[in-house]
Structure 1
Amino acid sequence: MKVLVVEDDLDIQDLVVALLSRAGYDVVVRDNGDAGLAAATTHVPDLVVLDWMMPGLSGVEVCRAIRADPRTKGVAVLMLTSKAQEGDIDQAFTAGADDYMVKPFRGRELVSRVQSLTVKGARPQ
């Protein structure tokens, strides 16, 4: 299973890559929204772990674009962000996110949520 991690914080990138690689996922990383969207549409992953606040496109903008593109509309999206207000969570789900985690996060929980999203398979086309 291929997971695309779109995160601009290098420490978070390293942690997420280590956790998901150990769990057996093939992980690709991009550090901004524009590069993340390009990677998602060029090499369609099974799941995108997406930060919200990044250079270029925001995570919510990337999520909307993923949902609007026929090539990627079935890709699972997990938002991983420090934005924890109820309105933020609502906005992410309205944009098409399948799950939402707030930083700081527990590594085991992240892996469990990724496993749940990838076992269920992609969204219905």
Structure 2
Amino acid sequence: MPETKVLIVEDEDALSTLLEYNLTKEKFDVAIATDGEDGLLKVEEYGPDIIILDWMLPKVSGIEVCRRLRAKPETRNIPIIMLTARSEEADRIRGLETGADDYLTKPFSTAELMARLKAILRRIRPGLADDTVVFGDISIDRVSHKVTRGDKEIHLGPTEFRLLDHLIQHPGRVFSREQLLNAVWGSDVFVEVRTVDVHIGRLRKALNKYKQGDAIRTVRSAGYALDMS
């Protein structure tokens, strides 16, 4: 299978170099553009499978690049991850409404970016991504249903496996109990909301069996997230 092509549109040299290094190490084919105008040109020339796009760019802003790509039939379905220093909820919503598939606020970890990029590829173009997802020291293999943390194998029940599989695709994102119910059990199945707490408790205990730190963050009155911080 040909390498997945990633276009980085970012004017910070240090960040684009770091992203290029990490993506190349993961066997992605990488191209870089340093402003919005160059980014639009590179999309035509390079034909990326996914775009990592900074919001604040010289010449043409990331939001405008995203808008133009979504307006053209030949580029409207290319997945876009927006990078920005703007953390306000209104800005995140604007970025997503313009057509971005995901949104990362600077500073962010490369591990989180890689996890989100692979999750998008699996969702939108499954043939481009493998079935192993890694976040921090946690690795989940969908084919063998094997979970490891560091060098230790973690044994999970089917529901805990599906919970982790969902959370690891959106590291750091907080999901309400209702959202987790719909994602893991399905909207057509009646399950009490507190059942989520029981299974999150089991997942948390399993992931911390070898005292490697609690990977599940509980946000009071909001829900749960997979978070290493």
Instruction: Give TM-score scaled by structure 2 length.
Output: 0.52
Cross-structure match for 2:114? 111
Higher RCO structure, 1 or 2 (CA under 8 Å, sep 6+): 1
Q: Which of 54, 77, 80 lines up with 1:77 in the alignment? A: 80
Correspondence 1:5 to 2:4:
no
* Residue aligned with 1:83, SS: coil
Correspondence 1:39 to 2:42:
yes
CA contact (8 A) 1:3 1:45 kept: yes
Cross-structure match for 2:62? 59
Distance 1:61 1:106 in 2: 25
Query: Unaligned 5+ residue runs, structure 2?
Result: 126-229
Distance 1:95 1:76 in 2: 12
Q: Which of 81, 86, 89 lines up with 1:86 in the alignment? A: 89
Distance 2:23 2:83 in 1: 14
Q: Output one character per residue of 1:9-55: Cα deviation in whole Å (capped at 9) or x when no partner.
A: 00111111111111111010000001001111232211000001110
* Residue aligned with 1:71, SS: coil
Return structure 1 stretches of 4+ with deviation > 4 angstroms. none
Cross-structure match for 2:132? none
Look at both structures and tell me which one has the larger radius of gyration over its CA atoms: 2
Distance 1:93 1:13 in 2: 22
Distance 1:80 1:21 in 2: 19
- The RMSD of aligned alpha carbons is 1.0
